[in-house]
Amino acid sequence: MPAIERPLPPYMQVIAHIRAQIENAELRPGDMVPSDRQIAEEYGISRATAQKVLTSLKAEGLVETVQGVGTRVRTLSSKLHHTGRDRAASVRRTGRIYSPGEYAKILVAEVTQPPADVATALGLSTDAPAIRRLRVTYNPQDQVVSASTSWYDAALAEAAPRLLEAERIPEGSWAYLEAQTGIHAVYGKDAITARLATAEERELLGLPDPSAVKQSVTVLRDGENVVVEYGVSVNNGERESIYEYELD
């Protein structure tokens, strides 16, 4: 029986456990999710709390209620925007960066001159090179949902040569970097804004001109506050971000 731990409230722990089962493909689209009665019995929580769990999972778009049948895992929505935090949490929980059915194509993996803001974030001099990885992510319906660029100090190429290969790294670039170098990301920050898409972004995402996009800039740092990865992800402005948090 899964153990309930503190300090997170029990219902949030249960949500995290069921969410991880869905992301791990232990529960697949169409599979039935335990009823509120079953959840209450399995986790030792009240029916009211179990109902709160199912309500939250529905709000996240992970499950749906079928009249006369029960609650089942739904096909992951292309409208859901996964932030850097979501990706990092997925790596920590599952060892994979993408949800079931999602996949990415790496379009560019190179050493190049970074923009000034990237160089500053990585602590590089103005003429120092950086590793750039450009990818496009697709949903289970093979629709483009986002385009993202990850930046790393070029000095890491020798220890982590796969960063310069235009091939997917299933566990995620920074998780691979951790395994190769021992540099451990412990802190992340996402800054999300809306703006007009550039010509390149419109082409990658298949958007008309003009189009708005949601931009998420993710910075991952190690225990010494050194930037491990600087990433910029864009998607069309129709995708939603969902955050769950506690109020004291």
Q: What pTM was estimated for this model as a whole?
A: 0.69
Pick the closest to residue 140 from 103, 105, 91 (CA basis): 103
Q: Quickly state the pLDDT bin for 106 (edges 50, 70, 90).
A: very high
Better-scored residue on pLDDT, 23 or 111: 111
Average pLDDT, the chain: 85
First-to-final CA distance of the chain: 29
Instruction: Name the band, by pLDDT with cuts 50, 70 and 90, for residue 25.
Output: confident
Q: Calculate helix-pair angle for 10-23, 47-59, nearest 10 degrees.
A: 50
pLDDT the model gives residue 60 = 75
The answer to whether residue 247 scores a pLDDT higher than 90 is: no
Banded pLDDT at 16 (limits 50, 70, 90): confident
Each residue of 133-158: pLDDT tens digit? 999 998 878 889 899 999 999 999 99
Handedness of CA 100, 105, 110, 113 (dihedral sign): negative
- What does the pLDDT read at residue 7? 58
pLDDT for 41 beyond 50: yes
Q: Which domains does the chain have, with CATH numbers?
A: 10-73 (1.10.10.10), 84-236 (3.40.1410.10)
Residue 111 to residue 114: CA distance in whole angstroms: 9
pLDDT value at position 241? 64
